[in-house]
């Protein structure tokens, strides 16, 4: 199943097919921020980024944008937040199975409610795709791709409508919060460190100039941008405990005996701030990656925001394209100021813990447009 997703949904070819969609959607965000810039409006940046990511994810997975009310009266962001929260809370039933049936924390009940909402929504979307099957779309969304595999019978394992729904939900949840939360953290760190912001803007000016907007094809030429993103992911890995793993064999790690079938939780948040590994670990200093070959692909265990190995994130490439493109646009097109004369150093960086760890407070800021056109 994982191989199928990697090859059919998250390959470079598939990522590139959605490039013009991302360009259009990010363009819409920039236009709306430009409007805010004209009147000096304070913008809820967290909300703007999250909404953009809901749209990008819906278009890629389901083929069209959905309004909040299409999911449930609570809406997408609230339901995704609820899912991440329920999934992250330690469940007593996992540790004392005889307590599981009692559901003392009410987690099973909450999970069932969330599952029903998503299931109804996915059933509706699949039915729509079946009805409109004859439409000849230029780019197949994830539902089309999964349904085609199901109908062809080519999968070498059981693959029916239940599996299609499971993959769609996985892709939707995994892709939604992670990229937008990372962009929020990167932008927060940049606003908090104006000298880093200036240096990144200078790179963007040198490579792109001020007469046109950034394109995805520019991203490989933006070295400092990559360093900034690595540094933000070191301090703010959005999945601070990765996803729980299980040891397949008895093993010894760093002198600790880990019996087969133990639940293993890797605290990458702590690794990212470990003073034994990083100089001045608490400081935001993208320059630490200058000339270093540490990358984000899971080879360097001191920096594994996407996990590592066979269960590492298969959406890494897609996630990085979205983050790099969006951060580059936001920083290239605008200067950012905090509201009510707040100093950058006073920006609150508290975290709100969940499977995905977000900012505790929304990021509010005033954009000023800085391109020539």
Long-range CB contacts for residues 162-166, cutoff 8 Å, separation at least 24: 163/1, 164/126, 165/119, 165/122, 165/123, 165/126
Q: For residues 227-246, which are near ligand HEM according to CB under 6 A?
A: 238-239, 242-243
Span interacting with ligand HEM, options 75-83, 211-219, 317-325, 339-347, rule CB under 6 A = 317-325
Q: Is 8 an interacting residue with respect to ligand HEM (CB under 6 A)?
A: no
Q: Residues 56, 174, 208, 355: which binds ligand HEM (CB under 6 A)?
A: 174
Does residue 272 belong to the site contacting ligand HEM (CB under 6 A)?
Answer: no
Half-sphere exposure of 208 (CA within 13 A, CB side): 25
Question: Nearer Cβ to ligand HEM, position 32 or 317?
Answer: 317
Does residue 307 belong to the site contacting ligand HEM (CB under 6 A)?
Answer: yes
- Closer by beta carbon to ligand HEM, 145 or else 182: 182
The pair of structure tokens assigned to 13 is 């070819």
**Subset of residues 180 to 199 that bind ligand HEM, contact rule: CB under 6 A:** 182
Q: Does 313 bind ligand HEM (CB under 6 A)?
A: yes
Q: Is 100 in the site for ligand HEM (CB under 6 A)?
A: no
Residues facing residue 337 across a β-bridge: 366
Cα–Cα distance between 188 and 170 in angstroms, integer?
28
If one asks whether residue 219 binds ligand HEM (CB under 6 A), the answer comes out as no
Query: Residue 113: which H helix or E strand, with range?
Result: helix 107-131
Under rule CB under 6 A, residue 367 binds ligand HEM: no
Compute the least distance from the CB of residue 315 to ligand HEM, in Å: 2
Which of 171, 181, 153, 160 has its CA nearest to residue 62?
171
Select 264 or 360, whichever has its Cβ closest to ligand HEM: 264
Q: Which of 40, 340, 19, 29 is nearest to 183 (CA)?
A: 29
Question: Cα separation of 84 and 355, whole Å?
Answer: 5
Complete DSSP assignment for 187-216? HHHHHH-HHHHHHHHHHHHHHH-SSS---G
Find all residues with CB under 8 Å of 66, minimum gap 6, and list them. 54, 58, 76
Smallest separation, CB 280 to ligand HEM (Å): 23
53 binds ligand HEM (CB under 6 A): no
Residue 220, φ and ψ in degrees, nearest 5: -65, -15
Give the residue, chosen from 272, 315, 354, 367, that forms a contact with ligand HEM under the rule CB under 6 A.
315
How many CA atoms does the CB half-sphere of 12 hold within 13 Å?
1
Residue in 49, 208, 318, 333 binding ligand HEM, rule: CB under 6 A: 318
Of the candidate residues 37, 46, 53, 179, the single one contacting ligand HEM (CB under 6 A): 179
Determine which residue in the list 51, 53, 178, 357 makes contact with ligand HEM, applying CB under 6 A.
178
Q: Are strands 43-44 and 358-359 parallel, antiparallel or unpaired?
A: unpaired
Q: Is 333 annotated as ligand-binding? A: no
d(CA 336, CA 354): 28
Among 323, 327, 328, 347, binds ligand HEM (CB under 6 A): 323
CB of 354: closest distance to ligand HEM in angstroms? Answer: 13
DSSP 8-state class, residue 284: -
Note whether 170 binds ligand HEM by CB under 6 A.
yes
Token readout for 216 is: 């995805």
Give 128 or 170: the residue with its C-beta nearer to ligand HEM: 170
Write the DSSP symbol of residue 90.
Answer: P
Please report, for residues 168, 182, 340, the alpha-carbon distance to residue 31 in angstroms, rounded to integers and kept in the order given: 30, 22, 24
- Residue 122 or 208 with smaller CB distance to ligand HEM: 122
Q: Are 20 and 62 in contact (CB under 8 A)?
A: no
Q: Judged by CB under 6 A, does residue 46 bind ligand HEM?
A: no
Minimum distance from CB of 355 to ligand HEM (Å)? 10
Provide the annotated binding site. 313
Provide the annotated binding site for heme. 313
The residues that touch ligand HEM, with contacts defined as CB under 6 A, are 2, 10, 170-171, 174-175, 178-179, 182, 238-239, 242-243, 305-308, 311-315, 318-319, 323
């Amino acid at each position: 199943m994982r191989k199928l997703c990697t090859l059919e949904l998250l390959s470079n070819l598939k990522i590139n097919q959605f490039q013009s969609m991302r360009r259009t959607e990010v363009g819409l965000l920039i236009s709306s921020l430009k409007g805010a810039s004209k009147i000096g409006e304070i913008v809820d940046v967290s909300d703007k980024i999250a909404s953009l990511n809901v749209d990008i994810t819906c278009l890629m997975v389901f083929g069209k944008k959905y309004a909040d009310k299409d999911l449930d009266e609570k809406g997408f962001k609230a339901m995704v937040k609820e899912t991440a929260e329920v999934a992250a809370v330690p469940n007593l039933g996992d540790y004392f199975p005889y307590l599981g049936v009692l559901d003392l924390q009410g987690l099973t009940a909450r999970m069932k409610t969330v599952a029903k909402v998503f299931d109804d929504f996915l059933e509706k979307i699949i039915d729509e795709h079946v009805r409109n099957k004859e439409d000849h779309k230029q780019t197949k969304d994830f539902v089309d791709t999964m349904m085609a595999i199901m109908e062809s019978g080519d999968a070498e394992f059981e693959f029916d409508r239940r599996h299609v729904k499971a993959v769609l939900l996985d892709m939707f949840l995994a892709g939604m919060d992670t990229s937008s939360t990372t962009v929020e953290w990167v932008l927060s760190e940049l606003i908090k460190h104006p000298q880093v912001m200036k240096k990144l803007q200078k790179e963007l000016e040198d490579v792109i100039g001020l007469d046109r907007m950034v394109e995805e094809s520019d991203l490989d030429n933006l070295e400092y941008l990559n360093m900034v993103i690595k540094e933000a992911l070191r301090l703010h890995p959005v999945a601070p405990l990765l996803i729980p793993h299980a040891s397949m064999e008895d093993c010894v790690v760093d002198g600790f005996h880990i019996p087969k079938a133990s639940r293993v939780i890797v605290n990458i948040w702590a690794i990212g701030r470990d003073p034994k590994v990083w100089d001045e670990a608490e400081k935001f200093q993208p320059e630490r990656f200058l000339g270093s070959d540490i990358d984000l692909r899971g080879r360097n265990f001191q920096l594994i925001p996407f996990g590592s190995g066979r269960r590492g994130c298969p959406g890494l490439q897609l996630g990085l394209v979205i983050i790099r493109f969006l951060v580059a646009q936001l920083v290239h097109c605008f200067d950012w100021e905090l509201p009510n004369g707040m100093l950058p150093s006073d920006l609150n960086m508290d975290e709100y813990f969940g499977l995905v760890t977000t900012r505790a407070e929304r990021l509010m800021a005033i954009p000023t447009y800085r391109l020539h056109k």
